[in-house]
Structure 1
Amino acid sequence: MHTARNESSGDAEAVVQAGTVYGGVNLLGHAAPPPSPPPRQLPIDPTRFVNREQTLNRLDEALPTVDGTTATSGSAMTVAAIAGAPGVGKTALAVHWAHRVRQWFADGDLYIDMRGYGPGPALDVGQALDAFLRALHVPAEQIPTDTEGRATLYRSVLAGKRVLIVVDNVSTVGQVRPLLPATPTCMAIITSRSRLSGLVAREGASRMTLDVLSPEEAIALLRDSIGGDRVSTEPGAAAELARRCAYLPLALRIIAERIANAPYATLAEFVTDLALVDQQLDALTVDDDELSDVRTVFSWSYRALPEERARFFRLLGLHAGSDISIAAAAAIAGVSLPQARSLLDQLTAAHLIQNPARHRFLLHDLLRAYALERAQAEESPEQQHRARRRLYTWYLWTAEEGRKVILPYSHAIALPPAEPDIPVTSPGTVAEAMAWFERERLNILDAIRQADELGDHDVAWQLPVVSDGFFELKSYWADWRDVHLIGLRAARSAASRLGEAANLRCLGDAYWRMEQRDTALDYYRQGVNASRDVDDHWVEGFCLRGQGLIHEESGNIEEAIDLYGQAREVFRNYAITRGEGMSLLSLGNCHRVRGHLDNAIAHYQEAVSILDSINDQWSVAWASYPLGLAYQQAGQTDEALQQHERALTLFRRFDDRRSEGLTLAALGDTFHAIDRPDDAQRCWQQALQILAPLGDPHAGTVKRLITQSNIPTNG
């Protein structure tokens, strides 16, 4: 176990690694975590669901039985596709039925919105697979970087399980095919505006086309929403309202909410109002306009809003992401948090936005398109830009506050000042900061892309830099690479050499982590040149150290030592204390590989001392671990035990399970060397229980040590 390494070239060695916790019996009374619960991701079951009895029955018939066949045909059918026009109720139907049967799927339910339609970019199938694998408790480190590898692992994880998968808002067959289960006891429900004919032909999907409501169903929905007496009193007006809503559930719910809030108005008066709005909008109708069927209802409801509420609604249309938090909504509109919360609640009550989760809001695709249309019509280009800049600034500063909590010694860059009314808060703990990043990850990606496309190049290079450590720590490898490729392009568009240097260093780290060493080396070299142009010595030092790591891995130890030495010199000259400590650690590794144990121990000891001086305890653990290995190789077993036990305590404090497993394995080696077989057995067993589920290659070595010592491996 002497070659175990788990280094990072840049920021991420200073923090807790927030991965899923695994393991069994643990040394020194370290409790095993409880088993992870099955994922339950379905959105809230829609209220006032209009009865789609025929389609619900067809879905019931497709439900797999215990042996994986369907209830009626006896064949294994695992895919149901619900197609239909926008606003017809596809998502509501899929989610409602999924709630009815979710207890049948004991191993969980998964839900994802593929964002196939709307102003923003669709979700990539690789991102969807990554999200599903994480929800199924696959460690982030085990998730492949390529889509095919993720799809293969996904099918393997689902094998033999009973999981319901709801894939919403799909635009093409290619966007969903890798998400389909290969196990007949699982089932996938897909919603799309497209017929997805390829799924029917190749996968044997059962396709159900959802039409608009019948006149009777539409009137029943109105009766349920506004009261049967009003509908019975004016049946003709109720029928005309349903017709003017194009028999679409989305439009009917919006109009019903307004009627319910006006108990003394007649339905005929609402019909007259709608007819007037319809005439005013006729001139705006164009071919292939997805809003043509609902614009009258949307406009009628929008015009009835007080100006503050109407402005808030249309500004939400400028947001690039699929959902929005209260604080982000406050930022884009330039209002206080209490105001934003109140306005969001009012728009939700009017059925103009949805509230699918606590403190999260979203617009239906059609309403989002309408909100954007109104913003572009009623807000000047300058006003639209200011609103977006307020939102970008909120993301920048909230991410920056998270960076300072998660990665206190990482690269700090100057950001544009935040306006006083932008509600930036600081997370109190690492867990809070990581949770914020996880909630906002897709919105951050969308904001970076939008800022680059619309010419806000400063934001497009800064936001990747302040978010960098999160993408690395959570192993979002492809996203990590992609945001910095955008960031680099944006920095060059903005003529910011500092932006280039920062993103080049991050790209070096990303490609190194993805084991594309030649590409990483090129980015590190470019990063050194750019950083020297702007005197950014932090970036310069870590780009030099990054090159050293690659040369060390390639066996070019002399070149690695030279680069580590250069990095150390930069860090020491400019009082970058942690960088100096990490360079010493790397130099110690090189000397240990060459068998120069006295030199290795001296470098490690100095690294521990420096990192202790700034209270960087996670990095102290990573210096103590190889120091223990060097002592062990030198035959100084008491010192080796002391360093490994210190490292073990610290890794456990930070829930760094892989490092804990490697340290336990090294402790086992040391106990074995001093003839303490019971302690060696306990440490190796616990190391195997941690490393095997993580897919760590050192698990095989530990298992062989156990086997050679005739120790049962507990399976």
Structure 2
Amino acid sequence: MHNTNSGTVHGSLVQAASIDTVNITNLPPPPTALNGLPPVSGTFTGRLPELEELRAGRGLTLVHGLGGIGKTQLLLHYAHREKARFPGRSLNLNLHGYDARLHVEPTQALRSFLRALGTREEDIPPEESERSALFRSAMAEREDMLVLLDNASSAKQVKPLLVDRHRVLVSSRHRLTDLGGTRIPLGVLPLEEAVELVGDPELAELCGRLPLALKIMAAHIDLESATDWAAELRAEGLPLLDDGDTRQVAATFALSYRWLSPDQRRMFRLLSLHPGDEVVADTAAALSGLPSGKAKMLLRDLHRASLLEGGTRFHDLVRQYAALCLQEEPETERTAAEDRMIAHYRTTAAEHAKGIEIHRCTPEAVGWMDRHHRSVLEVATTAHERGLAEQVVGIADAMFRYFSLRKHMADWFTLQEMAVDSAARLVDRKSLAKVYNRLATIHRQQRRFAEAIRFCERSLAIQEEMDDPIGIGSALIVLAATYREMDRPDLALPCCERSLAIRRLVHDPRGLGISLSNVGLTHLDLGDADLAMEYFTEALELQRSTGQEGGVAITQHGIGRAHQACGRLDQAFEHYGASLRIQRHRDDRFGTAITLRSLGGAYAEAGRTAEAVETYQESLVLFEGSRDDHRADEVRDLISALTP
């Protein structure tokens, strides 16, 4: 068992998301249980024949119709109304079939469903056919369930997710004639039901009786009379066009768009540049170049016009229309808005990064990063594509601590790869060395040791060429940590000792604490607990005096291990507890898992088997959540050894 401290890396590996949020790893969010389904829109009306047809149906049913026709709301209304029929509850997933960026492949959907059904990550096979077979097997053992597959674009996207006996409902803009099952074509609302929403037959007809268009129009009725709105619609010309879906909806959006003030229109257009799901006032202000208060007011205006959902999110069709409207914006202004957004995210990320340091970690900073790291990564990608190398390097630097804490490994690796390319473009040797060191950290944590050593050596070569002692000390610590992970503390010790000597020489108190702790860990791995304790004691005193909260947690864990190695279990419990309190306060889930594993070993050694198993199980959950299969397997073996 090993605990490492590189001086720049420690944290947890967690992939968090929700059904309506997609990560760059392209893993869809887990499907929600029936009682977690979104509510039906307050504007849902009618659809009684379709609801009765759904109720009478069995097996697979496809609901198809144009975008904005109300397919999702119909399925949700049915799910809520008929939940008693499905004691096994439900699985619900938006397949994002018409969005190339968010498109969910069957293998991804199957993984989410299997995880929701309780399948362990390591038991999920890699191949789609094997996942599909396992999913069908898992579903065969359950009581009647409802499976909602929303927004499918092809039968290929759906077929691997189909199961016998259970109720499966699919929505799509296409008929999917090769899918099988029964079909419910969803057309525009009957006139009477459409009039319930907008209060005027002519206006309902001019809106095409399309639920999404009617919802938008209903938001405006209190601003102008229905007659005035009908006149506007006639002037805009909203025919039922032969090429249908997009242009009909776009024409409806066009009416709402043209009702906006010039400032509101400009904000609407520029928001389409934002890559994330949620746009907050500060980001809108950056895009538009307006004060935050003015931007917030414009967001409220767009929400009132039903052009933003929840005040911060675009409906996917509205986003597409906003992107079309963006062509009205001069290219110079589009570029300037994008520049402002990139600079805003770099600055804001750097500001929050100050709250995610080795010496302290604030919930506010971590919370902001949790909510916005996907947007930051998308913005960095845009900057990289445009050749804004300095911005990419700055964003990568700002996000390092967060990715080290949360260990979103794919996102972290993507960003650092872009940073390598950007630093090379800038001929910025110092930044390049730093990025190499961080890539080494990523490879080490993925147990790709040869790659980790290669990047360490590259970083070290540049640092030595530049005669940068602090950089040399950092690179040596990452190299030492890699050797310890390889169970080669004999190779790690010279690296640690050289780093320690350098940091004593340059009077780097933060780096010195890290090096002292790492020398202690290495001696502990070499079997000399007493010598390790000497280094830990000096490290702890220094880290406490300089406020290095994260370093204190790691050193306390090391001291606990040293006491345990010497048979002083009471002292080991004390120091493990001190380490855990800090790690949990920092929301350092990976560090918590490491310490829990050691604590479980101490309980087992003390003969407190039940407490050992419970502690190991808590550690296992955290390792599984962080996708650290190697350590998870180790803990499973420890649990198995204690349980009959």
User: TM-score higher than 0.5 here?
Assistant: yes
Instruction: Determine the C-alpha separation between the residues in 2 that align with 1:327 and 1:602.
Output: 50
In the alignment, the residues of structure 2 paired with residue 606 and residue 104 of structure 1 have an alpha-carbon distance, to the nearest angstrom, of 65
Go from structure 1 to structure 2 and tell me whether the alpha carbon gap of 1:512 and 1:297 turns closer, same or farther (over 3 Å shift). same
* Partner amino acid, structure 2, of 1:454: R
Identify the match of residue 223 of structure 1 among 169, 172, 195.
195
Aligned to 1:372: 323
Distance 1:452 1:99, change over 3 A: farther
Shift, 1:337, TM fit: 3.5
1:338 aligns with 2:293: yes
When residues 346 and 644 of structure 1 are mapped into structure 2, their CA distance, relative to the original with a 3 A threshold, is closer
1:684 aligned residue = 612
- TM-score scaled by length of structure 1: 0.73
1:361 and 2:312 matched: yes
Instruction: Decide whether aligned partners of structure 1 residues 7 and 597 sit closer, same or farther in structure 2, where only a CA change above 3 A counts.
Output: closer
Q: Which amino acid aligns with 2:225?
A: P
Q: Relative to 1, partners in 2 of residues 1:559 and 1:330: Cα closer, same or farther, differing over 3 Å?
A: same
Matches within 5 A, 1:250-649: 250-263=212-225, 265=227, 269-275=231-237, 291-355=246-310, 361-377=312-328, 379-409=329-359, 430-531=362-463, 540-635=472-567, 640=572, 642-649=574-581
Equivalent residue letter for 2:196:
D
TM-score scaled to structure 2, two decimals?
Answer: 0.80
For 2:522, the aligned partner's letter is C
- Assess, with a 3 A threshold, how the Cα gap between structure 1 residues 315 and 573 changes in structure 2: closer, same or farther: farther
- Report the equivalent of 1:7: 4
Shift of 1:49: 1.6
In structure 2, what is the equivalent of residue 57 of structure 1?
A: 52
Q: CA deviation at 1:705?
A: 6.3
Q: Quick one: distance in 1 between partners of 2:285 and 2:312?
A: 12
- Cα-to-partner distance string for 1:175-225 (whole Å, 9 max, x where unaligned): 6677x486966x665444345567x36xxxx46464441xxx253344112
CA contact under 8 A between 2:362 and 2:586: conserved in structure 1? no
Match of 2:73 among 87, 92, 96: 92
Q: Is the 8 A contact 1:332 1:388 kept in 2?
A: yes
Gaps spanning 5+ residues in structure 1: where?
Answer: 21-36, 63-71, 232-236, 411-428, 708-712
Query: Residue 658 and residue 174 in structure 1: after superposition, are their counterparts in 2 closer, same or farther (change >3 A)?
Result: farther
Letter in 1 for 2:55: D
- Whether 2:57 is the aligned partner of 1:46: answer no
Q: 1:634 & 1:560 partners in 2: Cα distance? A: 23
Q: Deviations over 1:385-410 (max 9, x none)?
A: 22222222332233223322122559
Which one of the candidate residues 596, 614, 627 is aligned to 1:661?
A: 596
Q: Which amino acid aligns with 1:315?
A: L
- TM-align CA RMSD: 4.3
User: Which sections of structure 2, spanning at least 5 residues, go unmatched?
Assistant: 17-31, 625-631
The change in CA–CA distance for 1:610 and 1:87 in structure 2 (over 3 A counts) is: same
How far apart are residue 167 of structure 1 and its match?
Answer: 4.8
For residue 174 of structure 1, report the CA deviation from its aligned partner. Answer: 6.3
Structure 2: which amino acid aligns with 1:310? R
- Alpha-carbon separation, structure 2, partners of 1:257 and 1:495: 54
C-alpha contact (below 8 Å) 1:118/1:368 kept by paired residues: no
Change in 2 beyond 3 A, CA 1:476/1:174: farther
Provide the rounded CA distance (Å) in 2 between the counterparts of 1:142 and 1:430: 33
1:413 corresponds in structure 2 to none
Native 8 Å contact 1:129 1:154 kept in 2 = no
Q: For residues 490 and 162 of structure 1, what CA distance do their matches in structure 2 show?
A: 54
Are residues 55 and 466 of structure 1, via their aligned partners in 2, closer, same or farther at CA, if it must alter by over 3 Å? farther
Q: Which moved more, 1:304-313 or 1:40-49?
A: 40-49
Return the offset for 1:125: 7.2
Paired letter, 2:210: L
C-alpha contact (below 8 Å) 1:644/1:666 kept by paired residues: no
8 Å Cα contact 1:129-1:150 kept in structure 2: no
Deviations 1:245-272 (A, max 9, x none): 4443223333444455322735662353
Name the SS for the 1:49 alignment partner: coil
2:95–2:152 contact (8 Å) kept in structure 1: yes
1:113-172 CA deviation, whole Å, 9 max, x = no partner? 554435856467787788878988999x98999797996999599874887665544445
- Where 2:225 maps in the other structure, the secondary structure is coil
Give the fraction of aligned pairs with identical amino acids, expressed as a percent. Answer: 25
Alpha-carbon distance in 2 for matches of 1:630, 1:541: 25
| Counterpart residue type for residue 633 of structure 1 | A
Q: Distance in 2 between matches of 1:7 and 1:502?
A: 19
**Number of equivalences:** 616
Distance 1:515 1:103, change over 3 A: farther
In the alignment, the residues of structure 1 paired with residue 134 and residue 506 of structure 2 have an alpha-carbon distance, to the nearest angstrom, of 48
SS in 2 for 1:51: coil
Task: Write the mapping of 1:115-264 to structure 2, written as runs, cut at 5 A.
Answer: 115-118=96-99, 122=103, 160=142, 166-171=148-153, 180=161, 189-195=169-175, 200=179, 206=181, 208=183, 210-213=185-188, 217-227=189-199, 230-231=200-201, 237-238=202-203, 242=205, 244-263=206-225
**CA distance in structure 2 between the partners assigned to 1:290 and 1:489 by the alignment:** 42
Partner SS for 1:324: coil
Task: Give CA-to-partner distance per residue, 1:482-510, whole Å, 9 cap, x none.
Answer: 23223333443454444433433332222
